[in-house]
Amino acid sequence: MLAAQDTLRALLAQKEAVETQLRAARQGFELGSTTIADTYEAQARLDLLNASELQSRNALQVAQDQLARLINERPGELAELAPDTALPAPEPNRLEDWVAQSSDASLGVAQAELNAKIIEKQVDIAKSEHYPKLHLQAQTGTASDRGLYGLNNGPRSLDSTVGIQLSIPIFTGGELSSIVREQASRLQQARYELENAKRQAVLSTQQYFSGVTSGLAQIDALRAAEKSSLASLQANQTGYEIGVRINIDVLNAQQQLYETQRSLARARYDTLMNSLRLKASSGILSDQDIMAINQLLYTQGRQPPQRRPGSPANFSKK
């Protein structure tokens, strides 16, 4: 939802800048310093932004509806990620360590391993049906002699027995052997599933680790691009005012700047989510990690957080 909110905010800022450029183009045309083409170019760009705004508002509404379904109420003002927040790298910053952790402690691996152990016990139980069984039996009761004294009129005697019963399964039509083979096949399947769960955990860890490291590099690159795009826009606006740049140059510079800002916002949120997914795939995600993310967010009435070395806002392996 925060990403959709930032996207809409950037679109509205770009729309306001294009509207300003459109008014300048109309004024220039009225004064005779520019052609009508400048007005048409700015109007066309504004119409495209209006369409993008509708799409962005719809995306934000969908995100709000999804959040409302989770919290069972309409969301109010959300805390945001400060623009200058420094996102930490994974700690340790070694893929091998995370892969080893995920192949042992991933939730999917733990579930598959437990299932394999259960089926191993079931195989042992099925095999035990072939073994001889020794049962201790005991019973007690009373009996009367109805033949001599008539119905229910004879004396009653106590009848108690204690014994041991040995049963040896010799042939059951192949039933026991079929059960053992079935459980053995299930065990083999469970072991294949366990191996597949380990491979999937390793693959997910590799993807999320790469998402964090490449995301951090992308954030740095986009921040540099944002500064360059802003300088380019200011230069083009100055050039347009003195007549060495045309209207389309300013519009293109504006579009480049705001597209860069939207990409930067998306990259920051994706990097944070990949950080959480990396820990989840390694089986070490905890509520402390969620609290660390929460400390990076701020509302309009609160000072943006300044991250200090060693603060909880790191995604270290536990």
* Structure-token pair, residue 119: 């089926």
For residue 40, being part of any structural domain is answered with: no
Residue 309 CA to residue 293 CA, distance in Å, equals: 15
Q: Tell me, yes or no, whether 275 and 248 share the same domain.
A: yes
For residue 291, being part of any structural domain is answered with: no
Residue 264 CA to residue 284 CA, distance in Å, equals: 28
Radius of gyration of the chain (CA): 37
Q: Tell me, yes or no, whether 240 and 103 share the same domain.
A: yes
Confidence at residue 206, expressed as pLDDT on a 0 to 100 scale = 93
Confidence at residue 311, expressed as pLDDT on a 0 to 100 scale = 33
CB distance 28 to 38 below 8 Å: yes
Q: Tell me, yes or no, whether 149 and 257 share the same domain.
A: no
Round to the nearest angstrom and report the end-to-end CA distance of the chain.
Answer: 29
pLDDT in tens, 236-287: 989 988 888 888 898 999 999 999 999 999 999 999 999 999 998 888 888 8
pLDDT in tens, 4-43: 888 888 899 999 999 988 888 888 888 887 788 888 988 9
**Percentage of the chain modeled with pLDDT above 90:** 32
Q: Tell me, yes or no, whether 140 and 209 share the same domain.
A: no
Q: Tell me, yes or no, whether 273 and 159 share the same domain.
A: no
For residue 315, being part of any structural domain is answered with: no
Instruction: Measure Cα distances from 26 to 35, 37, 137, 241, 242 in Å.
Output: 9, 10, 106, 14, 16
Confidence at residue 144, expressed as pLDDT on a 0 to 100 scale = 58
> Considering the entire predicted model, what is its pTM?
0.71
pLDDT in tens, 62-86: 988 998 998 888 888 788 887 788 8
Instruction: Measure Cα distances from 312 to 6, 128, 173 in Å.
Output: 25, 54, 66
DSSP-assigned beta bridge partners for residue 167: 133
For residue 77, being part of any structural domain is answered with: no
Structural domain ending residue among the three candidates 143, 167, 191? 167
Least confident interval from 81-85, 145-149, 201-205, 247-251: 145-149
CATH number of residue 118's parent domain: 1.20.1600.10
Q: Tell me, yes or no, whether 233 and 151 share the same domain.
A: no
Q: Tell me, yes or no, whether 158 and 282 share the same domain.
A: no
For residue 59, being part of any structural domain is answered with: no
Domain count, the chain: 2
- For the chain, give percent helix, strand, coil, nearest 5: 70, 10, 25
For residue 268, being part of any structural domain is answered with: yes
**Residue 135: is its pLDDT beyond 90?**
no
**Residue 312: is its pLDDT beyond 70?**
no
Residue 129 CA to residue 124 CA, distance in Å, equals: 9
Confidence at residue 123, expressed as pLDDT on a 0 to 100 scale = 83
Confidence at residue 80, expressed as pLDDT on a 0 to 100 scale = 82
For residue 317, being part of any structural domain is answered with: no
Least confident interval from 116-130, 221-235, 265-279: 116-130
Beta-sheet strands, E only, within 101-230: 133-144, 156-167
**Residue 307: is its pLDDT beyond 50?**
no
Residue 129 pLDDT level (bands cut at 50, 70, 90): confident
Q: Which domain holds residue 98?
A: 91-130+174-286
